[in-house]
Chain A
Amino acid sequence: QPQLQESGPGLVKPSETLSLNCTVSGDYMTTSIHYWGWIRQSPGKGLEWIGSLHYSGSTTDYNPALKSRVTIAADTSKNQFSLKLKSVTAADSAVYYCASQLSGEFDHWGQGILVIVSS
């Protein structure tokens, strides 16, 4: 079973780009049974799906509410996938999780990383 670990800065300035990586254990990133996704959780908005990437890297799906600001990409040579969220505001402060997906359900999660947007 894959293990996932988020990494990146815990503090981002308003209007800048939030960049996070998720490292996946083993060879799971190239298996055909998984998508790879990002979800965030904040007190005000609960759990919010940000977007997902097919294991092949050929397809990405984004939350329509965030689509204009989000990019998810994979680097299979490093067993990583990344999240970039541009033009952040305080409303983007949250715990960010990476997770694997079978169809739509998220079956394995990272521990989460707290990101605060503040100057």
Chain B
Amino acid sequence: EIVMTQSPATLSVSPGERATLSCRASQSVGTNLAWYQQKPGQAPRLLIYSASTRAIGIPARVSGSGSGTEFTLTINSLQSEDFSIYYCQQYNSWPPAWTFGQGTKVEIK
């Protein structure tokens, strides 16, 4: 099983500043990586797939980068709706054994 490790567990950021979230895979997943945002009581929402492609409706201030085992989600100019939990997910393993990270909570500083 590919283990996904996210850091930090909690990130305190002031509105208007930048948040940088990390996700590390226990083995290479190429660019088969997605990022999700989850707000309390809601389902996760796809933000990024293929490591760096924004999903429909996701603003340009949200970006993803990385390949192999190291990935980053960057959110510029944090707005109130950005304070939530973020998960990464790999979908490289075959046969499929897709796994998620444990999440990073972005909170207001």
- Report the count of interface residues on A (CB-CB < 8 A): 22
Give the complex CA separation of A106 and B55 in angstroms: 11
> Chain B, interface size: which category?
20 to 34
A105 is an interface residue with CB less than 8 A from chain B: yes
B60 lies within 8 A of chain A by Cβ: no
Is B39 interfacial (CB-CB < 8 Å)?
A: no
- Could you tell me the distance in whole angstroms from the C-beta of A64 to the nearest C-beta in chain B? 6
Residues of A within 8 A of B42 (CB): 111
Binary A-proximity of B86-105 (CB < 8 A = 1, otherwise 0): 01011110011111111100
- The answer on a CB contact under 8 Å between B97 and A63 is yes
Looking at chain A's contact residues, is the secondary structure mostly helix, strand, loop, or mixed?
strand
- Quick check: is B71 within 8 A (CB to CB) of the other chain? no
B55 with A64: CB separation less than 8 A: no
| A1-B43 Cα distance, complex, nearest whole Å | 16
What residues of chain B lie closer than 8 Å to A97, measured between beta carbons?
43-44
Note all chain B residues with C-beta closer than 8 A to A111: 42-43
Chain B nearest Cβ from A43, distance in angstroms: 11
Collect the chain A residues with CB atoms within 8 Å of residue B34's CB: 104-106
Query: Smallest CB–CB gap between B38 and chain A, Å?
Result: 9
The chain A residues found within 8 Å of chain B, CB to CB, are 1, 46-49, 52, 61, 63-64, 97, 99, 102-112
* Across the A-B interface, the 6 shortest Cβ-Cβ residue pairs: A104-B91, A109-B43, A105-B34, A47-B100, A105-B49, A61-B96
Q: List 15 A-B contacts (CB under 8 A).
A: A46-B87, A46-B103, A47-B103, A61-B95, A64-B1, A64-B97, A97-B43, A102-B49, A104-B92, A105-B50, A107-B46, A107-B55, A110-B43, A111-B42, A112-B43
